[in-house]
Chains A and B, each alone.
Chain A
């Protein structure tokens, strides 16, 4: 057996191994090297799997050679390989960035613990994506969630603790709902393998227990993905977590939850149950619209830049779930593309903000919160950082030439296909709200006079380079859509074919 046959296992095992190694080393620098190596290896594995899945359609890996449905199966289809790329790619960029960023935000003696938690979180997120076993999803979900709570609590501000606690309570309720859902499915089908479950569900379809399972899973996962009224944990957690953590979570954690929702809706329950038996699409449509408008509107009035973009994240998740509510291949494609594009854009934004707060602080002090009163005339002081934030902001709005435009374009196409013309108006209108909150930054940073004697002082290069890599990626995926849209379209077709 060659190494490439074991890529699915290596994908999860390598970052998982790096975490305890980081703890054993007890040294910030070594821990960083080990976990970064693990993340890069995971990224390489994800690229390999993406290629393999392109060739054979679905890569199935039997852990310990136990054949499914008895053993645990790792299953990589087009969608899984796409999300794996996003998660491991973000980690591979954020980890080298962390080194300079947490230097000022986390006490030195806790650095190795930060890397250990990061490694665990990465392994958990990759595990959720790759596994084909329902209970395994829960276990990996808890691995990533528990490490996320710790990562958030590492923030210097005491509000980080309260935010982490709140997320712990809400996240655990969500995860427990997911377990209840999986429990009902197991009772009805007697299997935990997702593919096997989907087949057996056809015989018991639309019994009340199955509908209850669908409801529990949808609500539980919606809590984790911060669907509009269940997003209360998100703004505080993103605002007070260390910058690198915010960037990583914003790009991956909620996106992986969306992936789990798509997986259960399309691959397990199947379209007919989700879209015909229950009014789920209509509920999803309303909540998505509420997120697009209410959360984006709230974002306009925030004083803290990180908090502003945290609310914007809730709004953007609305676009992703909006695509799911259409029940069409185009809608699903739009969702998957936006999941990826928004991940890249938000990671770029939060990385730039992380560099910005360090540039704002006097050397050796804890970076201040990026509130608007501190940002006046910032463009003079950090032109590159501000320019990057503007580009990423344009992508949030959906200006042509940026990644955000591509996903909104496909959303509008999907809405037109369903002949929902008013929805096109709603999408455009909510983009205007994004213009408003991005403009707030532009106004303060570019048009307010800077304090006397401001000299040009950029964020450190170690922070600027990873952030700009992602900014360039936002433009790249806005111009060349063959990778993102191509993969997403294939994934959507594969999902709908299997779900039928």
Chain B
């Protein structure tokens, strides 16, 4: 019961940890970005869920509505989504450039290429 009562938080925390794990455990630059996006999205849930009241409406001043959901978290997260999209776009653009420069998007191959170049330098 305890778990179900905090259902939204459980989901958010699961996504958060899963996303962070993907970022750390995967060597593929695109997969890392996928993990990063999941991680960021979990925070959106963390903000939005507490702002919603079951049965609440948008804050419209009218006699027939008495229960309002807090609109502020949604507005904040709208900004955070824009930031997340920009970050993802920039990350993907960098991945494309890295692929052009290194011919690979695997982290270990990139590090190996850097080390080889370092040793080849006289």
Q: Are B94 and A142 in contact (CB under 8 A)?
A: no
Binding site for A on B (CB under 8 A): 16, 20, 23, 29, 32, 36, 39-40, 43, 46-47, 50, 72-73, 76, 79-80, 83, 86-87, 90-91, 94-95, 97-98, 101-102, 110, 114
Q: Are B98 and A165 in contact (CB under 8 A)?
A: yes
Q: Are B50 and A168 in contact (CB under 8 A)?
A: no
- Give Cα A150 to B87, complex, Å: 11
Inter-chain contacts of B87 with A (CB < 8 A):
142, 146, 168, 172
How far apart are A173's CB and chain B's nearest CB, in angstroms? 7
Inter-chain contacts of B98 with A (CB < 8 A):
158, 161-162, 165
Q: Are A139 and B114 in contact (CB under 8 A)?
A: no
- Segment from A13-21, A73-81, A175-183, A440-448 that makes contact with B: A175-183
**Known A161-B101, A172-B36, A173-B36; further 8 A-B contacts with Cβ < 8 A:** A135-B76, A158-B98, A165-B29, A168-B87, A169-B91, A173-B20, A186-B73, A187-B50
- Give Cα A149 to B79, complex, Å: 20
How far apart are A16's CB and chain B's nearest CB, in angstroms? 16
Instruction: Tell me the chain A residues, 147-173 only, with Cβ under 8 Å from chain B.
Output: 149-150, 153, 158-159, 161-162, 164-165, 168-169, 172-173
Inter-chain contacts of B73 with A (CB < 8 A):
186
Q: Are B95 and A173 in contact (CB under 8 A)?
A: no
| 10 A-B interface contacts by CB (under 8 A) | A142-B86, A146-B87, A158-B98, A161-B97, A162-B114, A165-B98, A168-B91, A172-B91, A173-B36, A176-B43
Most chain B beta-carbon neighbours within 10 Å: one of A150, A153, A183: A183
Inter-chain contacts of A168 with B (CB < 8 A):
87, 90-91, 94
Knowing A135-B79, A142-B87 are in contact, say whether A153-B94 is a contact too (CB < 8 A). yes
Inter-chain contacts of A176 with B (CB < 8 A):
39-40, 43
Inter-chain contacts of A159 with B (CB < 8 A):
114
Q: Are A161 and B23 in contact (CB under 8 A)?
A: no
Inter-chain contacts of A183 with B (CB < 8 A):
43, 46-47
Inter-chain contacts of B23 with A (CB < 8 A):
169, 173
Q: What DSSP secondary structure best describes chain A's contact surface? A: helix
Knowing A142-B83, A173-B23, A187-B50 are in contact, say whether A165-B91 is a contact too (CB < 8 A). yes
- Give Cα A135 to B79, complex, Å: 10
How far apart are A475's CB and chain B's nearest CB, in angstroms? 37
- Nearest 5 CB-CB pairs, A to B? A158-B101, A142-B83, A165-B94, A161-B98, A161-B97
How far apart are A153's CB and chain B's nearest CB, in angstroms? 6
How far apart are A8's CB and chain B's nearest CB, in angstroms? 21
- Give Cα A180 to B17, complex, Å: 13
- Nearest B residue (CB) for A158: B101
Inter-chain contacts of B114 with A (CB < 8 A):
159, 162
How far apart are B26's CB and chain A's nearest CB, in angstroms? 11
Knowing A179-B43, A183-B47 are in contact, say whether A169-B90 is a contact too (CB < 8 A). no
- Give Cα A153 to B95, complex, Å: 11
Q: Are B101 and A169 in contact (CB under 8 A)?
A: no
Q: Are A149 and B94 in contact (CB under 8 A)?
A: yes
Q: Are A162 and B110 in contact (CB under 8 A)?
A: yes
Knowing A135-B79, A168-B87 are in contact, say whether A161-B36 is a contact too (CB < 8 A). no
- Give Cα A156 to B90, complex, Å: 18
- Give Cα A219 to B46, complex, Å: 18
- Nearest B residue (CB) for A165: B94
Q: Are A169 and B43 in contact (CB under 8 A)?
A: no
Inter-chain contacts of B72 with A (CB < 8 A):
192
How far apart are A316's CB and chain B's nearest CB, in angstroms? 26
- Nearest B residue (CB) for A167: B94
How far apart are A282's CB and chain B's nearest CB, in angstroms? 26
How far apart are B86's CB and chain A's nearest CB, in angstroms? 6
Q: Are A146 and B86 in contact (CB under 8 A)?
A: yes
- Give Cα A187 to B76, complex, Å: 13
Q: Are B43 and A150 in contact (CB under 8 A)?
A: no
How far apart are B49's CB and chain A's nearest CB, in angstroms? 10
